[in-house]
Structure 1
Amino acid sequence: MNKTLKLYGLIFIIVMAVLALLELTKSDVTDWRKNFDVHEKSPFGLLIFSKEVDHLLKNKVQRTDLSPYDFYKTQKLKPHNILIVQSEIDSESWNKILQNVESGSDAMIISDSFNKKVADSLGFLPSRISYEDSNLLLLTDEKFAQDSLKIDKLPSGKGFELILESDEILGKEESDSKMANFIKISHGKGNLYLHAEPLILTNYYLLKPGNEKYVQDVFSYLPDRETVWFSGANKNRTESRSPLRFILSKPALRYAWWLFLGGLLLFIIFNAKRKQRIVPVIEPKKNKSVEFVKSIGNLYLQEGDFHDMMAKKAQYFLNRVRMDLLIDTKDLDEKFIHLLHLKTGKSVEEITEVTELIKKGQDPYASVMKEDLIKMNTLLDGILQ
């Protein structure tokens, strides 16, 4: 493993450690959004109501994720109860609900918003009836006089006005006894029960002691029969069908998944760069100069031409004297001997002897022996070593 990969690995481990430390030390943040989700444990989710609704309605609850329009296209039921909690109901679904109510069904719709066109046709007007930070919800029936529910966290303050004489007020807020937040509207053979404060069914309020009595009183208006709860209608988003939905639903797993993808992306980016090719090992060319010199030397020895070798040796020596010592070699006289003595530090006798051997090598008619060549070579190597 090269140094670059080690560095990336170290950075990755440090980032992982920091994220793990942050995850372990972070404090849980309460989600106060009004999600009205039957699977949510947050304060304004409907998880507790979803678990208790069967007991509340005597195990006669049929749940469906379909819209009322899609459900009643394939289902034809005898008179039954309809339950919808905080949903945006389209016009076609409202028509199906009203058709069933007209045939004898009863609908309990708990929401802080209603379709204006439907409201006009039924003879009521959704309105804001309170701007208080907290409201006490009461029921008008004397037998429920002791049961109330206080909305002390994010009340909607919604209600109804311009109610027809045939409509019945079932609940109101203590702050304004003239305005209703829970009404009954007769429609054909059935009734619609409209409640404008869906927070009464959320986890936060159902967990408060005594509030369950108010909720039981509200649902006591429904007849004892099968209830169809459009539990999926209150979802504003469709559930993900991705294979990763479990991982993405858990914060710790979600962080780990994105960190893994980020690390993988970095690894791909840095390793996608063109790497240096392996440099092949090339054997250096052998220096055969020595072999060449030996071959030439052997050739001269075989020929036995010591005079020629001595002349070439003298020529090479004088060339070095000119180039390195800057001494004129035209005349090998006393001046030459004196200058060479000064620049090399060798004795005058030694230089004089070498000079005589050089002259002998340059003389084409001189008789040269092997011993002369050896002696000249030894003296020259000693002078310019």
Structure 2
Amino acid sequence: MNKTFKIYAVIFIIIMVILALFEVNKKEVTDWRKNFDVNQKSPFGLFVFNKEVKDLFKNKLSKIDVAPYDYYTEKSRKPHNILVIESEIDPESWKKILNEVSKGSDAMIIATRLPKNVSDSIGFYGSKISYEDQNVLKLTDKKYQNDFIKLDKFPSGRGFSYIKPNVQVLGKTVEENNEDQANFIKAPFGKGNVYVHCEPLFLTNYYLLKSGNVRYAQSVFSYLEDKETLWFVESNTRESSFLLRFILSNPPLKYAWWVFLGGMVLFIFFNIKRKQRIVPIIEPLKNTSADFVKSIGNLYLQEGDFHDMMAKKAQYFLNKVRIDLLIDTQNLDDEFAKKLQLKTGKPAEMITEAIDLIKRAQDPYASVMKEDLARINKLLDDILK
């Protein structure tokens, strides 16, 4: 047995003893993060809901693990129910969901926040937040007056700040020191309806396992018609990290992983040698940025998607305004126009026309011509000069 092997063995034994001591003295810590993961048994996971959801929907529910854009691009379905629970949905997928609703489907979205263009389309603007430690979720319909749920752990306190007249309030948040605020609404959209609930905590393990709370969830879902329901579960888009995430979520595998990494580091440390290799001649990289930009530009022109090009130009301009001019771009109102005019020194008419074009670019349903794209490109470039 050589000296190097003995050193490896001693270091390995020391590491194992230290890990064993950590394992013996480890205290179980409750994970209170709001992960809304269907596989998590932590308090704010959706493991229990995932197990009971098919009975809740009378076995007419299917879980879809692809983006709505991909799903509806490949398939055409008769009117159905769409369920989204606190998932990251891309803008194009939102368009597909609203398109299905306009044709007669119903969508129930249970999420703390929605993209502005989606909320504007549905019929509410912004949200207000309360910071009370606890509140009660109730439904406004008298037949559900006994179905409520008390949130005593980390409620989001979110409610709808402004609702259009044609939107019906189905539920509210009741707090001791604040006025009641709407948290569950029904908005007609085309031939269908969109239901939005801004407090997804009532579906988590912590609350569903409490006696009587299931009735509130049943009452919320009873607003959907008895037909096929598609639940778009957030898919795992980073497959390369799935194995590592699985290893780190299991303590025995996690310790084995760290021991393996530690052994690799020690191996490299004890076996590293100074070796001079022949330095290869590396040709300098060609600057293909201009060719790439030209190719992308030609592609957009061939496709004729002027609306998308306007939206990207507007997004780039607003990002430059936030970073370079330090102006908040969340609301493109008169105050924003005044600040932009003062910092750029451009005429008010130019600023007003530019803001109108930006709003058209952000509107997914606006009609855009090639001349509009040319005009917004010139205006935004002139403003930032």
Aligning the two structures, in what range does the TM-score lie when normalised by the shorter sequence? 0.5 to 0.7
Inter-partner Cα distance in structure 1 for 2:13 and 2:59: 53
Retained in 1: the 8 A contact 2:122–2:194?
no
Give the equivalent residue in structure 2 for 1:125: 125
Q: Which amino acid aligns with 1:231?
A: V
Cα drift, residue 260 of structure 1: 2.1
Q: Distance in 2 between matches of 1:245 and 1:220?
A: 36
Q: Deviations over 1:300-333 (max 9, x none)?
A: xxxxxxxxxxxxxxxxxxxxxxxxxxxxxxxxxx
Residue 269 of structure 2: aligned partner: 269
Paired residue type of 1:117: N
The number of aligned residues is 272
Name the residue aligned to 2:30: 30
Out of 199, 202, 217, the position equivalent to 1:200 is 202
1:140–1:170 CA contact under 8 A, matched in 2: yes
Q: Is the partner of 1:162 in helix, strand or coil?
A: strand
- Equivalent pairs: percent with the same residue? 59
Residue 210 of structure 2 corresponds to residue 184 of structure 1 = no
CA distance in structure 2 between the aligned counterparts of 1:261 and 1:114, rounded to whole angstroms: 41
Per the alignment, residue 138 of structure 2 pairs with 138
- Residue 113 and residue 212 in structure 1: after superposition, are their counterparts in 2 closer, same or farther (change >3 A)? same
- The letter for the 2-side match of 1:142 is K
Contact 2:171 2:182 in 1 (8 A): yes
Q: Residues of 1 paired with 2:47 and 2:191: CA distance?
A: 33
1:152: Cα distance to partner? 1.1
Tell me the CA shift for residue 222 of structure 1.
Answer: 0.5
For residue 258 of structure 1, report the CA deviation from its aligned partner.
2.1
* Contact 1:129/1:179, CA 8 A, preserved across alignment: no
Q: Which runs of 5+ in 2 are unaligned?
A: 275-385
Aligned-partner residue type, residue 195 of structure 1: H
Deviation of residue 242 (structure 1)? Answer: 5.9
Secondary structure of the 2:163 match is coil
After TM superposition, the structure 1 stretch with the greater mean CA deviation from structure 2, 180-189 or 158-167, is 158-167
Cα distance in 2, alignment partners of residues 261 and 124 from structure 1 = 51
- How far the C-alpha of 1:87 sits from its partner, in A, is 2.2
Aligned residue runs from structure 1 range 1-385, under 5 A: 1-175=1-175, 176=178, 178-232=180-234, 238-240=238-240, 246-272=246-272
Shift of 1:271: 4.3
Q: Distance in 2 between matches of 1:129 and 1:13?
A: 53
Where 1:33 maps in the other structure, the secondary structure is coil
Q: Distance in 2 between matches of 1:243 and 1:81?
A: 33
Structure 1 stretches of 4+ moved >6 Å: none
The 3 A distance-change label for structure 1 pair 134 and 239 is farther
3-state SS of 2:210 partner: coil
1:160/1:179 contact within 8 Å kept: yes
1:155–1:199 Cα contact (<8 Å) kept? yes
Q: Residues 53 and 3 of structure 1: is their aligned pair in 2 closer, same or farther, counting only changes over 3 Å?
A: same
Contact 1:89 / 1:115 at 8 angstroms: preserved in 2? no
Equivalents in 2 of 1:90, 1:3: separation in Å?
Answer: 58
User: Greater shift after overlay, 93-102 or 213-222?
Assistant: 93-102
CA distance in 1: counterparts of 2:18 and 2:56, whole angstroms: 48
Q: Deviations over 1:333-353 (max 9, x none)?
A: xxxxxxxxxxxxxxxxxxxxx
Distance 1:271 1:96, change over 3 A: closer
Could you tell me how far apart the structure 1 residues matched to 2:265 and 2:241 are?
25
Q: Secondary structure at the match of 1:101?
A: helix
Counterpart AA for 2:229: T
Q: Name the SS for the 1:35 alignment partner.
A: coil
Deviations 1:73-104 (A, max 9, x none): 01111000000001233321121111111111
Gapped regions of structure 1 (runs ≥ 5): 275-385
Give the Cα–Cα distance (whole angstroms) in 2 for the partners of residues 240 and 135 of structure 1: 41
